[in-house]
């Protein structure tokens, strides 16, 4: 099995997305976003998850030049061998399952979180992370935007990241819109946008606006295929699959922590000096609670 076949199939689907009919486009997006599930599940289950018919999946295989659907799925199944260790059972997790309904819920959530952290970190190539860090460090101003649940991730990235990257600005500010704050941005600036399914309209519009201004765009999302309105210079993918109704952001947070670590390392002495100055300022302003010593009688 040619290990590059899965990569070439995915790349072909990405390139063809804008011109594919609606049904094939929906199937292609599912394959791109969920390659492990696609390799593992039978065709009927994949059709249900992708919300398309089995006939659409077969047509997609034929359009890609495969004689049978299983030939399309084969390279994705082969890729599962390399990640077989992800799903290893852990005794302490199994023990939770024997402790009632909530124990099972906890065990399922734990296994899911461990898995998506692994998947999210495993898929980040060093070459891409180096490009992202260089893009951020070289930019005169870096804008960072997200709304709703993703805003918590953006707030943390800004709160910690600005110590290593002083040009980092969290938008929107002052209860405005991100577009208001991008009005004075320049073509040499960079924007980081964080959004996950279902994608926020405000974030999509801010990304499209930034691209029209000639800004570079780094997207942190669960898919490279977010909107036909724009394309990002770099997209960092994190899985947000969860066992409950809402997305699980453990993988996204792990990815952001990795990015912060690389920014701090790149900043070297200057970054360490800024971090130390922030710590001194917080101690001097009594930002941290300190227990008073007990009276001695």
HSE, side-chain direction, 13 A CA sphere, residue 176: 12
The highest-confidence range among 60-69, 150-159, 277-286, by mean pLDDT, is 150-159
Residue 85, CA atoms < 13 Å, CB-side half-sphere? 3
Task: Provide the pLDDT confidence category of residue 5 given band limits of 50, 70 and 90.
Answer: low
Residue 2 has pLDDT above 70, yes or no: no
Angle separating helix axes 43-50 and 22-33, nearest 10 degrees: 110
> Tokens 């409950």 label which residue?
244
Edge-first strand listing for the sheet containing 216-221:
168-171, 142-145, 190-194, 216-221, 234-237
- pTM to 2 decimals? 0.78
Q: Which helix (H) or strand (E) holds 235?
A: strand 234-237
Torsion from C-alpha of 131, 137, 140, 144, nearest 10 degrees = 80
Say how far apart CA 209 and CA 182 lie, in whole Å.
8
Query: Between 69-82 and 54-63, two packed helices, what is the crossing angle to 10 degrees?
Result: 90
- 84: pLDDT confidence band, cut at 50, 70 and 90? very low
Residue 265 has pLDDT above 60, yes or no: yes
Q: What is the predicted pLDDT for the residue at 234?
A: 97
pLDDT tens-digit series, residues 44-83: 989 998 999 999 999 999 999 999 999 998 888 766 544 4
DSSP 165-197: -TTEEEES-TT--HHHHHTT--TT-EEEEE--S
What pLDDT score was predicted for residue 82? 44
Beta bridge partners of 236: 220
- Whether 88 has a pLDDT exceeding 60, the answer reads no
Confidence tier at 1 by pLDDT (50, 70, 90): very low
Cβ proximity of 236 and 121 under 8 Å: no
Which residue carries 């997006």 as its tokens?
Answer: 29
**217 vs 93, higher pLDDT:** 217
% of residues, the chain, pLDDT over 70: 93
Residue-level pLDDT at 18: 85
């Amino acid at each position: 099995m040619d290990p590059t076949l899965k990569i070439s199939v995915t790349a072909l689907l990405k390139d063809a997305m804008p011109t594919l009919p609606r049904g094939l486009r929906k199937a292609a997006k599912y394959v791109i976003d969920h390659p492990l599930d696609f390799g593992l599940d039978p065709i009927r289950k994949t059709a249900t998850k992708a919300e398309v018919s089995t006939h659409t999946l077969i047509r997609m295989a034929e359009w890609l030049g495969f004689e049978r659907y299983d030939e399309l799925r084969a390279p994705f199944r082969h890729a599962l061998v390399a990640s077989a260790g992800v799903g290893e059972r852990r005794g302490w997790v199994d023990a939770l399952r024997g402790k009632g309904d909530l124990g099972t819920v906890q065990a399922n959530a734990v296994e899911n979180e461990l898995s998506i952290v692994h998947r999210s970190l495993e898929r980040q190539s060093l070459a891409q992370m180096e490009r992202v860090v260089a893009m951020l460090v070289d930019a005169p101003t870096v804008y960072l935007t997200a709304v709703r649940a993703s805003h918590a991730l953006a707030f943390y990235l800004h709160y910690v990241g600005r110590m290593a990257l002083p040009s980092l600005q969290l938008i929107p500010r002052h209860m405005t819109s991100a577009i208001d704050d991008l009005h004075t941005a320049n073509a040499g600036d960079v924007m980081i946008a964080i959004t996950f399914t279902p994608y926020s309209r405000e974030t999509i519009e801010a990304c499209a606006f930034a691209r029209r201004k000639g800004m570079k765009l780094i997207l942190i999302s669960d898919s490279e295929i977010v909107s036909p309105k724009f394309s990002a210079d770099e997209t960092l993918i994190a899985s947000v699959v969860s066992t409950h109704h809402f997305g699980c952001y453990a993988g996204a947070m792990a990815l952001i922590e990795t990015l912060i670590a690389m920014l701090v390392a790149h900043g070297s002495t200057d970054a360490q000096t800024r971090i130390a100055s922030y710590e001194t300022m917080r101690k001097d302003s009594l930002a941290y609670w300190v227990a008073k010593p007990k009276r001695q009688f």
